[in-house]
A = this chain, B = another copy of it.
Amino acid sequence: MIKPPNPQRRSQKSHDAVLAAALELCAEEGYGRVTIEGIAARAGVSKKTIYRWWPSKGAVVLEALHEAADIAAPHPDTGNLAIDMRTQLAAVISFLSPPSHAPLAGLIADALSDPELAGLLRERLIRPRIAEFEQRMRRAQEQGQLHPDANLDIALDLFYGPLYHRLVFHLGLPEPEYLDTLIEHVIRALTSGEPSRSA
């Protein structure tokens, strides 16, 4: 006897196919050239199916990146903060390389003029990563690798800021040696002396 098709399972399969197609097309054509039509064709679904689940191309790519980032850019914990940050930042850099094709760079550009996408980018993609970063920093504080009063908002801005400064002004993403120097400086800024106070 042939089983009836399981609509939920088919739906999940289409959903996954759309996300995979979106990332493939970004890699091949660059985010800017990808269209909902192209994603639909590659995934073998209708445009209507895509629009039922996502409001825009940006929202599709965002969800695809969200799933990919969990696998590709976790926060390791070897007990050595500098080494772990190097691993994690290198993973983020590879997500942004090359900027002309990186889906995250395309999303950043679109979100600068699309408040709805900006909200999704912040809340769905970035806030969960900030929470993971803060967890890792707290473990570093417990292990004495980071000053117990270190300001974690500042830590986030100093560790990740250089990547985006270099991205938006096309100054070249950090090479491994420069990345090590950056991390060393940031840890020094966070580690020494008194809890920071405003001037």
Contact = CB atoms under 8 A, between A and B. Distances in A.
A45 interface: no
B158 A186 contact: yes
Contact of A99 (B112, B151, B180, B199): B112
Contacts of A186: 158, 189
A168 to B, nearest CB: 5
A188 to B, nearest CB: 5
Contacts of A115: 100
A199 B185 contact: no
B108 A112 contact: yes
A178 B158 CA distance: 13
A174 to B, nearest CB: 8
Contacts of A153: 178
23 contacts: A31-B113, A32-B113, A82-B199, A99-B112, A108-B109, A119-B170, A121-B169, A154-B162, A157-B161, A157-B162, A157-B182, A158-B158, A158-B161, A158-B162, A158-B185, A158-B186, A158-B189, A181-B197, A184-B198, A184-B199, A185-B190, A185-B196, A186-B189
Given A126-B169, A151-B181, A161-B162, 13 more contacts: A106-B112, A109-B113, A112-B168, A118-B170, A122-B169, A154-B182, A158-B186, A160-B165, A161-B165, A164-B169, A181-B198, A183-B199, A188-B193
Interface of A: 30-32, 82, 99-100, 105-106, 108-113, 115, 118-119, 121-122, 126, 151, 153-154, 156-158, 160-171, 177-178, 180-186, 188-190, 192-193, 196-199
